[in-house]
Amino acid sequence: MRPIGVFGGTFDPIHVGHIMPVLDICELTGIEQVRYVPNARPSHRGTPRTAPEHRWNMTVLALADYPQLVADDREINRPGKSFMVPTLRSMRSEFGLRPLSLILGMDAFLQITQWYWWAEILKLANIIVINRPGAKVPAVLPVWWSRALKSHTRVLYERMSGNIVHLDVPLIDVSATRLRISMSRGEEHPDALPAEVAKYISEHQLYSASGVAG
Ligand code: ATP
């Protein structure tokens, strides 16, 4: 069965580093649909600068040109903290027997053991890890990681959960934190932001030094 990709984040703002690597993954694996899940209230990091509805609107605008990338509002609509496990459970009931592939940048994956009920994640989904500038694979992998690691993408189709695949996709050296800092200084980022997102940010003054982000 064709897997469904799941890509969560604060997307504050969504940028090319969130889009190009995922398109590469679709090409490499044949995954036909990736659900982008902006989190409303992250559980494992501070409150995002920008209100969930703005981050949702930017996600919708950024994905409009890519029919295989679908904005998914289940965490935006769910009250309370945005934990990944309930998200995967609700996808599991929605998508039945289609395997789920949770996509994570290496920086996020390296923190996964700090997530709530993290071991449950590998019972609900497979994980695709992509490289991110500055995030290095440890020289010695923990046992749970090396046991789950597979070198073939076909496990993403054959197994519902429990496997980790690293995919080498071209690195995109963009981070939302750096974008927020430089936009607050008035700089523009035509190469790092989808045009409609850049327009939305400027219309709503989201990251300017004086802007009201919430
Ligand atoms: P921030 O700087 O605010 O932490 P971010 O740019 O890391 O933001 P997030 O929304 O936190 O973006 O990340 C969502 C997911 O996207 C994570 O899995 C993260 O590793 C991945 N990601 C973000 N930027 C890149 C990038 N340039 N290349 C590959 N993966 C990325």
Burial 31-51 (b: 16+ CB within 10 A, else e): bebbbbbbbbbbebeeebbbb
Report if residue 196 sits inside a domain.
no
- Give the separation between CA 68 and CA 48, rounded to whole angstroms: 27
pLDDT tens digits, one per residue of 114-171:
999 999 999 999 999 999 999 999 999 999 999 999 999 999 999 999 999 999 999 9
Sign of dihedral through CA atoms 182, 46, 18, 78? Answer: negative
Report if residue 188 sits inside a domain.
no
Whether the CB-CB separation of 97 and 71 falls below 8 Å is answered with: no
Report if residue 180 sits inside a domain.
no
- pLDDT in the model for residue 211: 56
179 in contact with ligand 1, CB cutoff 6 A: no
pLDDT tens digits, one per residue of 17-52:
999 999 999 999 999 999 999 999 887 777 888 999
24 in contact with ligand 1, CB cutoff 6 A: no
- Give the separation between CA 93 and CA 91, rounded to whole angstroms: 5
Report if residue 96 sits inside a domain.
yes
Report if residue 185 sits inside a domain.
no
Report if residue 214 sits inside a domain.
no
CATH of the domain at 92: 3.40.50.620
Nearest CA to ligand 1 atom 26: 17
How many domains is the chain built from? 1
Report if residue 199 sits inside a domain.
no
**Domain span at residue 52?**
4-173
pLDDT tens digits, one per residue of 47-98:
888 999 999 999 999 999 999 999 999 999 999 999 999 999 999 999 999 9
